[in-house]
Amino acid sequence: MSYLVIARKYRPLTFEDVIGQEHVTTTLMNAIKNNKVHHAYLLTGPRGVGKTTISRILAKCLNCETGVTPTPCGVCSNCVEIDQGNSLDVKEIDGASNRGIDEIRDLRDDIKFSPAKSRKKIYIIDEVHMLTNQAFNALLKTLEEPPEHAVFIFATTEVNEVPATILSRCQRHDFKRVDIDVLSKALKEICGKEGVEIDDGSLIMLSKAGDGSVRDSQSALDQVIAFCGNIITADKTAEALGITPVESFFRFTDIVLSKDTGELITYIDELFGKGLHILAYIKGLMEFFRDLLILKTVNDAKILDMSADNLIKLGRYKQNFGEKDLLLFIDILSQSVQKLKSSPFQRMDFEIILLKILHHEPVSNIEEIIKKLSAVEGDLEIDTDQIIGEITSRLKTAQVNIIQQQLPEPDKKKTPETDLNLDKFVSKWEDFISHIKNANSRLSVLEFGVPAAMENNRVLKIKFDKKDSVFKNLCDSKKEEIEKELNSFFETGDVRVIFDEGTIKKTERIIKISQNVKKSQDEKKTELLNKAPQLKFLFEKPFNCKFID
C-alpha cells in the first residue's frame, strides 16, 4: 500500500477534531442542532487551516444516514463516500479549473435534479475567487434562491476578490491562523501516534515553519521524520528545514557585545560553510531581536514562541541593549532585505550589514552627549556636524594605568627627565593655546583644560571641569593630534597626555573663559540699527520682524 502523508492521514473527520477554529465549528454545530442551516456558506482564511475539511464535515452532518446531526457517524455509506471524495451528491469543484460561464451553466442545470441517495445536494467550490465575473453573474440568481435540496459551500483565500453581490448572499465565516502552542500540541499528539520522539524546540520550529497553517506544519513534520527517523532533535530539525538554529543568534549577540570584528568574520565564514540561506538568516535574526524587544518591554514570556531554556538565555541580554538599539538593529536588517535580493555581491553586503550592528553606538549615550552639548554656553564656535561625527565614533576615556601599559620605553637621550616638569607647561600654557587656535582650530576646546600634574615624568594630566566633560571627551578622541602639537611646541620628546575630570577653581584657571550674555530683543534691534539704519523698515508693518534665539 502506498504511503499516506500525515496531512491526509490525520485529517479531522468531525468538528471536534478541528483545531484552532472553534468560533466556526461552534456556530455550525449550533446551527445544525437548531435546524438553522443556511443555504450558502463562504469560508475564508489562510491556506491549510481547515476550510475544505469543515466543508466536508458539514456535508456529512447534513447527509449522514443517522439523520441531520452535528456529530456524523462516519461509518455509513454516505459518510464514507464523502470522506473518500466519490459521493454523487457532494460535488467538489475546483474554482481555478472550472472558472468559466459554461461550467456554471452546467451546475445550474444539474442543481435542478434531486439528490441520488442523500438528503441534500451539496456543492463545494474551492478557490471560488478564481471564477470569472460572467460566471459569478450566472450564479447569482441560483445562489439567492436555490432548490430546497441544495447547499453551496464556497472556500477562498482571497475574499477581497469575491464580488459583493456574492458575499451578500452567503453566510461568511473567517478562519484564522492557528496559534503556535495549539499547533505544537497537535503535532506532539501525531508524533505520539506515529511512535516518534520529538523535543519542544523541534515542535516550535515546525509550528513556525507552518506560519499558522496546520497542513504546512504537518508537511514539514513529514519531511523531518524522513530525515531524522523516529528521534527528532532541534538541531536535526533546523538542518532538515534549512532553518538557522536559535543558538546561532545567541552566539551573534555575544559577538556584538564583545565588539570583536575578527570573531564576527570567522562566524560568518562558518555560516556559509554550513550552506547559509542569507534571507532566511536575516528573517530569523529580525525575529530574534523582536523577541528580545518584547521580552524587555512587555516581560511576558507567553507572547514569545520559544522554549523555556531559550527564554532564560534570552532574558540575560535584556540589560545589554536599549529599546532604541533593538529597533535600530531591526531597521538595519529590514532595509537590507531588498538590497540583498538584487545584490551581485551578497556575501560582502551580508558582512557589512552584520558589521554595522556590531559597531553600533548605543543610542542612549549619543542622546545624552548631544543634550550636554546643547547646554554649553560660551563664545567658543563649535562645528556641530564635526562634533556629532566624533560622538558617533568610538569615544573612550583613557585611564592612567592603561596608558602606562602601552607607553614605549623612554628615550632618555631625546627627553631628559630634568627638563620635564609641570611648571614648564603651566608657564607657557596660554601661549600654547594661542598657538593651537591658529595652527589647528579643531583643537581649540583644549583651552577649557588645565595642566594638573606630571606622572612618570612623561605623562601630562590635563584636567577639565565636570560641566565641560563633553570637551574632555572631544579632546580624548583627538589625543594623538594634541600630543603631536604639544611635543612640537614645548620641544619635548614623547610626552603623552591623559584627560581627567574634576572641579577646577577660579585660581587654577590659566585662561579666562568668557561667557556670552544673552541680549534682549530691544538690545539686538538697537545694535543692528546702529550698524544699518536703513533696515528700520523690517521692524515696522507689514513685516514686524523679530530676532530668533
**CATH code of the domain in which 311 resides:** 1.20.272.10
Q: What does 96-131 look like in DSSP terms, one character per residue? A: TTS-SHHHHHHHHHHHTSPPSSSS-EEEEEETGGGS
Considering the domain architecture, whether residues 21 and 104 belong to the same structural domain is answered as: yes
Considering the domain architecture, whether residues 16 and 152 belong to the same structural domain is answered as: yes
Q: What does 312-381 look like in DSSP terms, one character per residue? A: HHHHTTTTTS-HHHHHHHHHHHHHHHHHHHH-S-HHHHHHHHHHHHHTPPPHHHHHHHHHHHHT--SS--
Q: Which residues contact 549 (CB under 8 A, 6 or more apart)?
A: 518
pTM above 0.75, yes or no: no
Strands 40-44 and 496-502 turn out to be unpaired
Region class of 506: left (phi > 0), else alpha (psi between -120 and 50), else beta:
alpha
**Residue linked to cell 506544519:** 217
Considering the domain architecture, whether residues 418 and 503 belong to the same structural domain is answered as: yes
Considering the domain architecture, whether residues 19 and 146 belong to the same structural domain is answered as: yes
Is 63 inside a domain boundary?
Answer: yes
What is the rounded distance in angstroms from the CA atom of residue 66 to the CA atom of residue 81?
Answer: 15
CA neighbor of 142 nearest in space, from 161, 127, 123: 123
Q: What is the pLDDT along the chain (549 residues), one digit of tens a residue?
A: 578 899 999 999 999 999 999 999 999 999 999 999 999 999 999 999 999 999 999 999 999 999 899 999 989 999 999 998 889 999 999 888 888 888 888 898 889 889 988 999 999 999 999 999 999 988 888 888 889 999 999 999 999 999 999 999 999 999 999 988 899 999 999 999 999 999 888 898 898 888 889 999 999 999 999 998 889 998 888 888 888 888 899 999 999 999 999 999 999 998 888 888 888 899 889 989 998 888 888 866 667 777 777 888 888 888 888 888 899 999 999 988 888 888 888 889 999 999 999 988 776 555 555 555 555 544 444 454 554 455 444 444 434 444 444 444 444 444 444 456 788 888 888 888 888 888 777 777 788 888 888 887 788 888 888 877 778 888 888 888 888 888 888 888 788 888 888 888 777 777 766 544 567 777 777 887 787 776 777 777 776 777 775
Considering the domain architecture, whether residues 153 and 201 belong to the same structural domain is answered as: no
Contact 100, 69 (CB under 8 A): no
Amino acid code (one letter) for 466: K
Strands 231-232 and 121-126 turn out to be unpaired
Is 494 inside a domain boundary?
Answer: yes
| Domain region containing 221 | 180-241
CATH number of the domain encompassing residue 131:
3.40.50.300
Taking CA atoms, 108 is separated from 56, 101, 144, in Å, by 21, 11, 12
What is the rounded distance in angstroms from the CA atom of residue 25 to the CA atom of residue 19?
Answer: 9
Strands 450-455 and 171-174 turn out to be unpaired
Considering the domain architecture, whether residues 309 and 421 belong to the same structural domain is answered as: no
Considering the domain architecture, whether residues 265 and 119 belong to the same structural domain is answered as: no
- Please give the tally of structural domains in the chain: 5
Question: Which SS3 state, helix, strand or coil, does residue 388 take?
Answer: helix
**Residue linked to cell 479549473:** 97
Considering the domain architecture, whether residues 10 and 155 belong to the same structural domain is answered as: yes
Question: Which SS3 state, helix, strand or coil, does residue 145 take?
Answer: coil
Taking CA atoms, 410 is separated from 399, 493, 548, in Å, by 19, 9, 55
Is 492 inside a domain boundary?
Answer: yes
CA neighbor of 187 nearest in space, from 155, 226, 217: 217
CA Rg value for the chain: 38
Facing residues of 204 across strands?
Answer: none
Q: How many CB atoms lie within 10 A of CB 292?
A: 23
Contact 352, 342 (CB under 8 A): no
Q: What is the pLDDT of residue 254?
A: 93
Contact 225, 190 (CB under 8 A): no
Q: What is the pLDDT of residue 379?
A: 44
Q: What is the pLDDT of residue 171?
A: 94
CATH number of the domain encompassing residue 214:
1.10.8.60
Considering the domain architecture, whether residues 319 and 277 belong to the same structural domain is answered as: yes
Considering the domain architecture, whether residues 162 and 209 belong to the same structural domain is answered as: no
Grid cell listed for 340: 540583498
Is 376 inside a domain boundary?
Answer: no
Is 526 inside a domain boundary?
Answer: yes
